[in-house]
Amino acid sequence: MIAEIGEEKLYRREKLMIPTPRFVIFYNGTDNPGDQTELRLSELFRNREEHPQLELTVRLININEGEDNQVLRNCRLMREYAAFIAAVRKHLGNTGDRDAAIGTAIDECIEKGILAEFLRKERAKVVSVLYDYDAEAVRRMHEEDMQKLEEKIRIGQEKLEKGQAALEKDQAALEKREEELQKREEALVTLREEYEAKLAEKDAQIRTLMDKMNV
């Protein structure tokens, strides 16, 4: 970058125009992210913001064999690389022996003309790179991620159950309160009826007394 711009221009006041950056991940993992997708750095921020001050957008392109995208269609080396990785995985799945799977995949691809020249010249480096890939460590990492996810689900389920229990408890208390209010209302109705009956009785007694006095 400095060589392209010129070191003497770095300390001037005017703005320096730079090439437009593009960030790409060529994905050949075993999960399925789809043909291609977009990743954002802000998705990893603990506190999400609608307009973060720092953002990085990365285009993820799935280059596994069988995917249909512009990269694989237009780039023969990328297609051959995808075919080689697929061969390694196939033989590893058949034998379970990583060393044997890598060697068989290399021989097979050379025979089929897949990265043949490169694999002949750099066989030892290819084996070293693939052998250094610690599948067991990756498997443990995935297991740990799954355990963390399961723990989060468990905690969420517990919170949900506690919330449900509290809601049911509140509902029961509300129903009990409504029942008590209903009983009080019924008691008030009964008292009013008794009062009106006694009032009517007194009124009848007074009328009877007045009738006798008039006689």
Backbone angles phi, psi at 27, to 5 degrees: -100, 130
Q: Where are the domains of the chain?
A: 15-63
**Is residue 127 classed exposed, middle or buried when 0-12, 13-18 and 19+ CB atoms within 10 A define those classes?**
middle
Q: Specify whether the CB–CB gap between 69 and 62 falls below 8 A.
A: yes
DSSP labels, 141-159: HHHHHHHHHHHHHHHHHHH
* Helix (H/G/I), strand (E/B), else coil: 17: coil
pLDDT of residue 110 exceeding 60, the answer is yes
Least confident of 16-20, 43-47, 48-52: 16-20
Least confident of 11-20, 116-125, 156-165: 11-20
**Who wins on pLDDT, 86 or 138?**
86
